[in-house]
Structure 1
Amino acid sequence: MNGNPLTGEQLRAVVQGPGDVEWRYEMRRECQEILPGLFLGPFVASKSLETLQALQITHIVCIRDAKEAFSVRPRFEAQFAYMTLDVEDNEEQNLIRLFPRAKEFIDTAIRFGGRVLVHCNGGISLSPSFVVMFVMQHYQLSWEDALHLVQNRRYCISPNGGFLTQIKEYEAIYKANLAVASYPSATRTAPRRKREDEDDDDGHTREDDRKRALVDPEPERDPNAMET
């Protein structure tokens, strides 16, 4: 799911987000809607079946450090479709390699009318990094605008330094992919060439003709000339 590039006025409006929301500290424990049908929050928000049903959530991306697997895990697998990503919440973790799987899951869910919650443990660094990359590509934004868009809806996010570096790198990656998709390689069919030694209608080869053309024909012999 890739949206069209925004005009200047549209860009300002979508990045700024709703201006009538007053952020409160306790909202850290809730999830917020970042794009239509895409929510971001902490693990605690994914533990409330009542909340998930009230938000009409259909799909959940559970992103966790492997050490947290005993607690940060799918809890309502009969009610929701889950994707679980085991990662390390440190600056060396490669998120760009994992992102395409998450993007495909989210794209498919929203395309068919679903509503997706993306969460990690605290909803501060790890899961927001995935969501920033998603909205960056969806709206074809710069990494700064994508980060501000998400922050203006969930004020407490703060990707760690390594994740922020990868968010910056992903801008160049998705733009390169768009450029390649916009200019597909044309199918080039080389014209068939006859073999140089292909016989002509007289049974002579073109190769032989060319060689003969490079040699002066032998002059006509005068029968009365003296031989030396």
Structure 2
Amino acid sequence: MASGAPENEDDTQCTLEELDDIITQPAGGMTMLPNTAYDEVYDNLLVGDESIARDLVQLRRLGVTHILNAAHGVDIHHVNTNEDMYTKLKVTFKGIEAIDHMSFNLYPFFQESADFIQKALDSGGKVLVHCIQGVSRSATLAVAFLMLKCHMTVKDALRLVRSHREVCPNTGFQQQLIKLDSELRLQRNNKIQTE
């Protein structure tokens, strides 16, 4: 349903301006917030907000089997959920204590989050990645997953997620995604050269 194959991108470094255009272009140059609690951004991968993460009835109805809380914690800037909350649903839970701030380094969590999502999808599961609003932390981890596991460029991955949900990773997270994009591009080029 929400799958998309990566487009051919040139080998030039992606810029913040290009990512900003992807985020704002569908809304005529404005940043929009989603008007839904969740959206499927890729097959069996949902990005959503705090309300869907707490709605056990809706989670069961949707068939969610795995939850990745990208805003795990107890203060006002986090969503206080845990594995105990989802025991009756038999949902596998993972929490990342990220802050939606430009200076927060989300990069170290890209690989483990992508592995968690991929393992869930490989087992026939359905994953909800959420934060408070479902626009920055969770969207960043969804984009990183598409880059790491589906071999998309940052622009293709962000385009795909943005085509299904209004998202806006903060500038620091965008820079970290650009860094990941550069490293993956370098790995691909090195692999091609050694073959």
TM-score, length basis structure 1: 0.64
Residues in 1 aligned to 2:133 and 2:168: alpha-carbon distance in whole angstroms: 11
Q: Which has the higher contact order (CA 8 A, sep 6+)?
A: 2
Which residue, 51, 54, 57 being the options, matches 1:50? 57
Paired residue type of 1:170 = L
Structure 2, gaps ≥5 residues long = 9-21, 23-31
| Seq. identity, % | 24
Is residue 122 from structure 1 mapped to residue 129 from structure 2 by the alignment? no
Compare CA radii of gyration and give the structure with the larger one.
Answer: 1
Q: Is the 8 A contact 2:120 2:126 kept in 1?
A: yes
Q: Secondary structure at the match of 1:87?
A: coil
After superposition, where does 1:189-200 map in structure 2 within 5 Å?
none
Q: Secondary structure at the match of 1:88?
A: coil
After superposition, where does 1:212-223 map in structure 2 within 5 Å?
none
Q: Is the 8 A contact 2:102 2:171 kept in 1?
A: yes
Q: 1:71, CA displacement in angstroms?
A: 4.6
The range that moved more, 29-38 or 113-122, is 29-38
Q: Secondary structure at the match of 1:32?
A: strand
Is residue 146 from structure 1 mapped to residue 157 from structure 2 by the alignment? yes
Paired residue type of 1:88 = I
Cα displacement string for residues 104-126 of structure 1 (whole angstroms, at most 9, x for unaligned residues): 11111111111100000111111
Structure 1, gaps ≥5 residues long = 9-14, 16-24, 186-228
Query: Structure 1 4/126 Cα, relative in aligned 2: closer, same or farther at 3 Å?
Result: closer
Q: Is the 8 A contact 2:71 2:78 kept in 1?
A: no
Cα displacement string for residues 115-169 of structure 1 (whole angstroms, at most 9, x for unaligned residues): 10000011111110111111123332221221111111002x1111111111111
**Which residue does the alignment assign to 1:73?**
81
Query: Structure 1 89/72 Cα, relative in aligned 2: closer, same or farther at 3 Å?
Result: same
CA RMSD of aligned residues (A): 2.9
Q: How many matched pairs?
A: 167
Query: Structure 1 133/69 Cα, relative in aligned 2: closer, same or farther at 3 Å?
Result: same
